[in-house]
Chains A and B, each alone.
Chain A
């Protein structure tokens, strides 16, 4: 019995150890980024463009670029994704089409992001002639986000109890009315959460924009869909691998990483908070 108790304690200790090591890694990681990034951060850092061969100044164009890329990508992806999910869950006929679509969507959800970038470069930049631009980049990001949005919306719709739509239909409502007035509002919190998390993911992606939208240095903000944009994640990468004056640029890279991190964490935290708030309000 004591042996078993000993084993028990041993394993519990091991689990705690695993957690501590994991937490340890992550703490070192976050602390490092904060400690090296925070000194660089200032109001000027956020609102000024880079100066003196990117050794001074700020990252405002990159911030704007990320914002625009993400916003456009969502504008392209959200309506298409949500409506696709609606079709799949409420109108899907014939069944084989639904199944094939599901297989394709699931495969796409797992594809490495660089392949989207490669595809985006081949089709949007070269074939369609959109060049390296906000348009090419956001289309590429939209396709990247699409499978995740569809899966998430479908799950959200499925989690609404069937009684709701059955009751609605029994009362004589059409499918459309059932969806727009009963199912969708009920599924909204989860759909919203998923959409917000997609925003966070898209904002942090580098590979898809490397050759479809991103530029290393540009002073003014993009004024049309055809302009190249700076972007936060690409800025970090470019400074570290192509930077011309590492002594001053490595800290800027850390600062940019910190800004990106804060942005993504704020976005994800918002999603999590909305989700738990809506869960508490939920009446079923």
Chain B
């Protein structure tokens, strides 16, 4: 009895849905790129009502894995693909093509009450390996350092790992959070915390510190003086075609880049 009712309801809803056929673009990956993807997708869909874009986060690693597994159209990544990943992709018949869609600087943030305003790369590394345990070792307040990092799928983590840690292991007492936002939220409510996040996530709730005396800004990212500057990418399988290439072209267009800047990131040119 209730089976029949369920079946009936489902058929009814499916028929109403099929009436609205659309092309769908599936996109997944970096939580850094997520706000850009969402904002540009909304603008793009406003202009192209016959195209639907479905966006998921999960971290750059998730997006890249999905691309390699062949289950996604666009992989959003806040880091370039590793050669190991490219080999894996090719062995599965996938040809990853990168499209840069924005520039970003990974900001190192602390609690607004923290007096520290500059760190060297070496100090940053020592903090994250757990060698330096208290802020007073750096001339700051007498407060144990609470290390906030990102989990394994994070592209932001990979870039940080490459430029700062140079392969050294992050201390096991570091908290591994799932997104840029989780990092800034945690740092903003924890006086002894230190974390890193894309520039678009830095708000007045946290304090951004200079790295090697350089503050991350549009200037220092574009001219490369900020050590943790990076490009944000969208990867496709083979050259982008059809709706996918329209969408990516939109993001790279002046209109799209304005949206990039509105989200707090840096345009490509």
A-side residues, CB < 8 A to B, are 51-54, 64, 67-68, 71-72, 74-75, 78-79, 125-126, 129, 131-132, 192, 195-196, 214-224, 227-228, 238, 241-246
Contact = CB atoms under 8 A, between A and B. Distances in A.
B258 interface: no
B53 A53 contact: no
Given A74-B6, A223-B20, A224-B18, A242 B34 contact: yes
Contacts of B38: 53-54, 217, 244
B178 A215 contact: no
Interface of B: 2-3, 6-7, 9-10, 13, 17-18, 20-22, 24, 26, 28, 31, 34-35, 38-39, 41-42, 45, 52-58, 66, 69-72, 177-179, 181-182, 185, 201, 263
Given A79-B3, A132-B71, A244 B18 contact: no
B43 to A, nearest CB: 11
Contact of A223 (B18, B55, B57, B178): B18
28 contacts: A53-B39, A53-B42, A71-B6, A71-B13, A75-B6, A78-B3, A125-B69, A125-B71, A126-B69, A132-B56, A215-B26, A216-B55, A216-B56, A217-B55, A219-B42, A220-B20, A220-B22, A227-B24, A228-B24, A228-B26, A241-B178, A241-B179, A241-B181, A241-B182, A242-B179, A244-B34, A244-B35, A246-B185
Nearest to A223: B17
Contacts of B66: 132
A215 B71 CA distance: 13
Nearest to A226: B24
Contact of B31 (A52, A67, A242): A242
Contacts of A72: 10
Contacts of A79: 3
Given A52-B42, A244-B35, A217 B18 contact: no
A131 B24 CA distance: 13
B58 to A, nearest CB: 8
